[in-house]
Structure 1
Amino acid sequence: MAGRCPDAARSRPADAAGGLRSRREAAPSAETEDAADSLRELPRWTRLYVYGMHGVTLDVLLSSLHGVSSRRDPKLLGFSSPYLCVMHALTHFALEKIYAQKRCFRGRPVVFHLVFYPSIYIGLQILIGNMNTLAEQVRVVSGTQLAAHYVLALYFSQVFHRGMSRLRYQNTGPLSKPDPGDRGDGGGARPPGLPGFVRFLFFGMHGFLDEVIFTSIFNLVEKSDRTLSGHTSLWSFLMYGSCSFVVEKLYLHLHFSRGWGTWRRLPIYICFIYTWEFSWGLVLRQFDACSWDYSHYPHNFMGLITLLYLPGWVCLSLYQDMLSNVLLRIKCTKDVKGLSGERGEVNGQLESKKKLL
């Protein structure tokens, strides 16, 4: 009896230490599960926002490529309108519901992806294209346009909807600066956010939307153009995408690391935006590819920047911070047994089978 007591006494501290270690190791896992449980489907307004912005981007891209093939214009101008933005948002929201019906085609995925979904997509695109001419004359769609619509339908069913189905929205908990050490391997306590490349794409598409809305309003006021047709340039995608990406980095550092308020950050944003616009314009002008000229505006410098647009840049800078806060709440997830969209669920509730990237 006396010989066994010391062993028992030594075993109790060891068991206690082991239990403490297990609790410490379980803590990050519990935090990760809590973070995963707080993830929900993307809000409807967020999806509509992305759908409309994405549709405008495709409009600009296709019209710009058409212009390059016919005019060889280095400005790479493309066209869209706020009206088309709304139509794209509603159309792709409906296509989201169509994509969710793929569960009815189990065992026949080829029929869904190559026949059913493309047929619905092409029909909706033809309807949008003829919306303004139904009372006059139905626009005939060429074989080239049908082929382009079919390729885009494959892109939406195979790439776009799959990517959207991985996104979730964290609507609880305070915002915090993303952890650079979290590479999405599931080892961090917080779920991974959007990759930098995706954020760049988002800001580039948003730049297209900004310019299309601005130029459409300008055409309405100055030229009484009620079609609300606006234009932008493919170069704007790179310019806005890179500029907003850097401004977001400034926001994350100045707000979360230094605690600077909005009005203290704003002058830095404005100085960087004007420097970025001037630098891009100076380079593009060397190749006759600069799509803007402010020479006829007051307070301009070399026709590349003007103080007349200062209120607009201030508003966009403030809005940029709001967008960054939204993007901080969007997380990427990965399903162990396939994407939720492949089970007929697009942007549905996060299930226990999902693990964080």
Structure 2
Amino acid sequence: MIRWYVYAIHGLLCEILFTSTWDIFATKSWKLIGVSSIWAIFIYGTAIFIIEKMSFYLQRNCPLIFRCLVYTLWTYIWEFSTGYVLRIFDACPWDYSHFPGNIMGLITLEYAVPWYFGCMIAEQVVIKYTLRLQLPQDRNQAKYK
């Protein structure tokens, strides 16, 4: 659960930073207004957790370039699937309909390069260092349970 939480917070932070940077170009304002949704916590936490599991297998068999393509494909499938379910409940916080490469407004091909490099960073930095995290081994640890 701790790794999932780290991945969720990382994804949420990246989304807020991405949307605030996008806002600079869209509005020419330096206010750095970034947005996200409470759903992003579940979506990013689960997506990166699955990438972690895929990386255990793929690192032994595939070069980094191919692994990141697989992760990007997974990201698109996950974004489309979660967006589709959220849209059923009128809760989908994103809409890419204004992009020429959109599919049902749920994903857009224009984000392929950012997703690719985001997946690379996820594997090479976020997952790598999150797996190194350890809770302190304390004799009194039972009192915290």
Same-fold status (TM-score > 0.5): yes
Q: Which residue of structure 1 lines up, in the alignment, with residue 31 of structure 2?
A: 227
2-structure distance, mates of 1:238, 1:327: 17
Q: Does 1:280 align with 2:119?
A: no
Q: Does 1:315 align with 2:121?
A: no
Listed as ranges, the matches of 1:8-27 within 5 Å are none
Cα displacement (A) at 1:224: 2.3
Q: Which residue type is aligned with residue 336 of structure 1?
A: R
Cα displacement (A) at 1:328: 2.3
Listed as ranges, the matches of 1:287-298 within 5 Å are 287-298=89-100
2-structure distance, mates of 1:213, 1:266: 21
Q: Does 1:259 align with 2:61?
A: yes
Q: Which residue of structure 2 lines up, in the alignment, with residue 327 of structure 1?
A: 130
User: Is contact 2:7-2:126 (8 Å) kept?
Assistant: no
Structure having the larger proportion of residues in strand: 1
TM-score normalised to the size of structure 1? 0.38
2-structure distance, mates of 1:250, 1:271: 12
Q: Which residue of structure 1 lines up, in the alignment, with residue 72 of structure 2?
A: 270
Q: Secondary structure in 1 aligned to 2:135?
A: strand
Q: Secondary structure in 1 aligned to 2:115?
A: helix
1-structure distance, mates of 2:24, 2:2: 33
Q: Which residue type is aligned with residue 270 of structure 1?
A: T
How many residue pairs match? The answer is: 140
2-structure distance, mates of 1:200, 1:279: 19
Structure 2, unaligned runs of 5 or more = none
Q: Secondary structure in 1 aligned to 2:36?
A: strand
Q: Secondary structure in 2 aligned to 1:297?
A: coil
Cα displacement (A) at 1:333: 2.3
Q: Which residue type is aligned with residue 218 of structure 1?
A: W
Structure 1, unaligned runs of 5 or more = 1-196, 339-357
User: Is contact 2:6-2:130 (8 Å) kept?
Assistant: no
Q: Give per-residue Cα distances to partners, 1:161-186, cap 9 Å, x unaligned.
A: xxxxxxxxxxxxxxxxxxxxxxxxxx
Cα displacement (A) at 1:337: 5.2
Q: Which residue of structure 2 lines up, in the alignment, with residue 209 of structure 1?
A: 13
1-structure distance, mates of 2:118, 2:54: 15
Q: Give per-residue Cα distances to partners, 1:81-108, cap 9 Å, x unaligned.
A: xxxxxxxxxxxxxxxxxxxxxxxxxxxx
- Say which one has the larger Rg: 1
1-structure distance, mates of 2:140, 2:52: 34
Q: Give per-residue Cα distances to partners, 1:318-353, cap 9 Å, x unaligned.
A: 001121111222222222257xxxxxxxxxxxxxxx
2-structure distance, mates of 1:245, 1:337: 30
2-structure distance, mates of 1:329, 1:202: 12
Cα displacement (A) at 1:288: 1.2
2-structure distance, mates of 1:267, 1:300: 19
Q: Secondary structure in 2 aligned to 1:330?
A: coil
Q: Which residue type is aligned with residue 134 of structure 2?
A: K
Q: Which runs of 4+ in 1 moved over 3 A?
A: none
Cα displacement (A) at 1:202: 0.7
Higher-RCO chain (CA-CA 8 Å, sequence separation at least 6): 1
1-structure distance, mates of 2:33, 2:112: 24
Q: Which residue of structure 2 lines up, in the alignment, with residue 304 of structure 1?
A: 106
Q: Secondary structure in 2 aligned to 1:310?
A: helix
Listed as ranges, the matches of 1:103-114 within 5 Å are none
Q: Which residue type is aligned with residue 29 of structure 2?
A: D
Cα displacement (A) at 1:231: 0.8
Q: Which residue of structure 1 lines up, in the alignment, with residue 51 of structure 2?
A: 247
2-structure distance, mates of 1:269, 1:216: 24
TM-score normalised to the size of structure 2? 0.90
